[in-house]
């Protein structure tokens, strides 16, 4: 049996490739890598304006992690083989507690001078970078032909979502990102709007398995 990294499948009219990349995959991975570089460069610029040490710590830890994940993807994309070390899991420092409710605040509007950009704006831009990268990786992983590249992309997506969630929690804690809730009656009605499907007792879970 061939390994995932060396499996160059050949069908009618197909041409074996030494790294087993499809054209669509190559273009999509280029977009992912370009976007990741954009995020890293943005983080480098944000570092010059951050005032809160806690946000600075988040930025430094995330930038270090993103750099390593970028290098892993570049390596397996170039070789089509397993990278020198696998993807790791990002561990955030924020508590999972979310503050609910809205408090009066001034309407948000575009800043007129660079000096007006503060931690609220920077953390919002960081959150946008992580959400955009996670979305781009998801689209690419769904159509990647090289199994190693697909696995690296697929394993990286939860990490970018974790970094996005860490930034959201930071913003929520500092009241930059407020979370409204429905009225209790409306909330319960929405939560109980769906029920489990019936008729599954007679279904054989083994029936769809390949023998």
Confidence of residue 12 (pLDDT cuts 50, 70, 90): very low
Q: Check residues 118 and 108 and name the one with the higher pLDDT.
A: 118
For the cut 90, the answer to whether the pLDDT of residue 26 exceeds it is: yes
For 47-104, the pLDDT digits (tens) are 999 999 999 999 999 999 999 999 999 999 999 889 999 899 999 988 899 999 998 8
In terms of C-beta density within 10 A (0-12 exposed, 13-18 middle, 19 or more buried), how is residue 112 classed? exposed
For 133-185, the pLDDT digits (tens) are 999 999 999 999 999 999 999 999 999 999 999 999 999 999 999 999 999 99
Total domains present in the chain: 1
Query: Which pLDDT score, from 0 to 100, does residue 194 have?
Result: 95
For range 115-123, the mean pLDDT? 93
Q: Long-range contacts made by residues 81-85, C-beta under 8 angstroms, separation at least 24?
A: 81/5, 81/6, 81/148, 82/5, 82/148, 83/148, 83/152
Residue 185 falls inside a structural domain: yes
Token representation of residue 127: 């959150």
Q: Residue 70 is part of which domain span?
A: 19-96+118-191
Residue 147 falls inside a structural domain: yes
Residue 104 falls inside a structural domain: no
CA triple 194-196-202, angle to 5 deg: 155
Helix residue ranges per DSSP H, the chain: 23-46, 53-79, 119-141, 147-173, 184-191
Contacts for 75 with CB less than 8 Å, ≥ 6 apart:
83, 84
- Tell me the pTM: 0.83
Token representation of residue 173: 């804690």
Handedness of CA 17, 23, 27, 29 (dihedral sign): negative
Residue 27 falls inside a structural domain: yes
Best-predicted range by mean pLDDT (15-24, 48-57, 193-202): 48-57
For the cut 70, the answer to whether the pLDDT of residue 2 exceeds it is: no
For range 19-30, the mean pLDDT? 88
Residue 7 falls inside a structural domain: no
> What's the CATH number where 74 sits?
1.20.1260.10
- Residue 144's closest CA among 2, 4, 1, 11? 4
DSSP string, 116-129: G--HHHHHHHHHHH
Residue 150 falls inside a structural domain: yes
For the cut 90, the answer to whether the pLDDT of residue 200 exceeds it is: no
Residue 180 falls inside a structural domain: yes
Query: Which pLDDT score, from 0 to 100, does residue 139 have?
Result: 95
Residue 142 falls inside a structural domain: yes
């Amino acid at each position: 049996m061939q390994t995932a990294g060396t499996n160059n499948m050949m069908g009618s009219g197909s041409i074996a490739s030494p790294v087993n990349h499809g054209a669509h995959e190559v273009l999509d991975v280029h977009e992912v890598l370009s976007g990741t570089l954009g995020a890293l460069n943005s983080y480098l610029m944000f570092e010059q304006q951050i005032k809160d040490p806690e946000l600075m710590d988040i930025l430094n830890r995330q930038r270090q992690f993103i750099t390593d994940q970028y290098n892993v993807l570049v390596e397996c994309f170039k070789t089509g083989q397993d990278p020198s070390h696998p993807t790791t899991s990002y561990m955030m420092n924020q508590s999972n507690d979310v503050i609910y409710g809205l408090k009066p605040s001034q309407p948000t509007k575009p800043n007129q001078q660079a000096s007006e950009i503060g931690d609220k704006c920077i953390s919002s831009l960081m959150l946008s970078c992580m959400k955009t990268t996670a979305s781009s990786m998801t689209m690419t992983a769904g159509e990647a032909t090289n199994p190693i590249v697909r696995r690296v992309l697929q394993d990286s997506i939860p990490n970018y979502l974790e970094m996005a969630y860490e930034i959201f929690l930071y913003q929520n804690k500092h009241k930059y990102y407020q979370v409204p809730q429905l009225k209790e009656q409306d909330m319960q009605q929405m939560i109980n709007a769906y029920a489990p499907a019936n008729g599954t007792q007679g279904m054989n879970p083994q029936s769809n398995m390949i023998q």
